[in-house]
Structure 1
Amino acid sequence: MARTNSSLRIRAANRRDIPAIVEIATSSVDEDEEVGFGTVRSESLFTDVHRLSAAWRAPNNVRAEEVLVAELQGRIVGCVTVEDRGEVLELINIDVSRERQGQGIGTRMVRLIEERARGEGKRAVTLGTSRNAAGVAWKSLPWWLSRGYHITGEEENEWTRSIGPGTREIRMEKTIPRRIEVSLRDVAETDLPIFFDFQRDSAANYMAAFTTRDPTDKEAFAAHWNRILNDDRVLVKTIVFDGHVVGSVATFVDKEFGKPEVTYWIGKEYWGMGLATYALTRFLRDVTVRPIYGRAAKDNVASIRVLEKCGFRMFGQSKGFANARGAVVEEVILELSDPSAN
């Protein structure tokens, strides 16, 4: 398995990765913090290079678990273990290096695991977190709930008894639809803070290139969207996937180019799932004006590919100053024409 979400890549681990896996497992959470919630660190295979090496079975298995790592710019930043349990894929454990926490890497890792489950025809992704003897749930519970997982029950088992008396496992599950279901709707006021968070991401800005001068300027953002939502010449829709707002798609007429164009923005944590292609395809069913155009920085291969999948073909090239890169950048212009025109 090797899946990519922009520059984040999930691949099968190998023996050379063991030191990095152990480093992540031992540093992602303070040892004192997880007392009463998880396996005692001195007994965990993943917190000791020698224990993990001894338990490793080629190509990337430890016990019945498959070990995967997440790479960002060539460096291992996360580790996830999964187990095939027939109709479901069990997510055993997930860790992100401490310095990379809060950057959406865990969310993107989970999304890619869910895509694997979908590709393998699994009914659901399942997992377990814990509740200590005092009745307090491990801090990840709200995070899992926010990502569409629901509690199916609580139980004592061999794992919880190894932690200590009174500890219970909270079992969770997320049903995985066989098909990706993307819907479009009118933009709501509550979507705007989500769009603003998407806009502030530095990697997304770099890829988009031709962005606002200061993506962190909330007043400028609000003024921009106020103009968009009150301009009859602009049609903009919110993209929804799995109950979550994942981006927006719009059509407008550029003042200089003078022709209708499409544009879209997908939150980085949802990259690599084909959502832009699904959304743009659906959008173009309702926006029937042809020809219509799309643009992308020349090195934004993923965005160019989305346009091509939707039937756009190369039309021309241009150059312009890209705020996100602080330099003049080449861009390509693609055209979607009426098939009868050919």
Structure 2
Amino acid sequence: MLEMKPLTEADLEAYFDLFNDQGLARNAGTVPHPVDLDWARERMISRREAEANGELKDRGFFEDGRFVGSGGYFFRNGELEIGYSVHRNERGRGLATRMARMVVAMAREDRLKGPIIANYFTDNPASGRVLEKVGFARAGLGTGTSMAREGEIESQRMELRGDVRVVDPVVSDYPVLFEQQLDEDARWQAGASRVYASAGEYQAHMEAAMAAGAVRRTILHEGHVAGYLASSDRQGMREVSYWLGRAHWGQGIATKALAEFLDQMGTRKSALCARVAKDHPASLRVLEKCGFVRIGEDSFYSDTRGEQVEEYIYRLNNR
């Protein structure tokens, strides 16, 4: 199991051994060669101080308790950028790809918004392949300084745009979600009933539902709060529901988010259901793309529409 956690003094020697590697130093910008233990200690201390100032976030990676690398995000010229390093004895096992994904996830969980940048030297194509697997795309040539090579080296700029994440909600999400559920057109399509008086009331209701067993996740689109996904028990069945803010419609975000939600919750092996108004075809398509099949019909009274609304009942096809 690969874990990501803050580095401590107990990790200093392993941290030094990671960076005291000529091959790694040649492909890193800020690592000279050779280095000594004092250099590693100063790097660890300075990064801890920079993190306290909100300038970056640096983490160690541990596999079954063994230190295998480090990585994190930082800001350069106003842009959010990631970097990572794998120990020379641990390469060739896909760790770099897993680490890069975890760093991106950390940045989004910290609610950092906008594109994410990564750079690699052109003569290190393996790093480019890792970034492409994570979803980065080529965005131009440039140059970068290599302390180990003592010069400017041609580099490739990579950008991650439009990524969709499903994450645990935080307090700052609720005001945005509250505003999104006030959209009258969206409420009509969904046949929604209750209107919350304030963001505080909305948050209290959602937190009470989670305390009672509901599962709730925030949908992030390029770090922006795009909507939510939820799962709860109803009439003896576990049902899923979702809401997407108008600014995020028509981009395939709901489908990607629901697919990730199903994988996170392990619900692809369970009898999960969903209900959708018959006249809401966009939502029907989302469910069908994610493997739901229509199993019945029902109706409900919508305060928003002031009438009974016909709906389809779907169930996740696990075959």
Normalization by structure 2: what TM-score?
0.48
Normalization by structure 1: what TM-score?
0.45
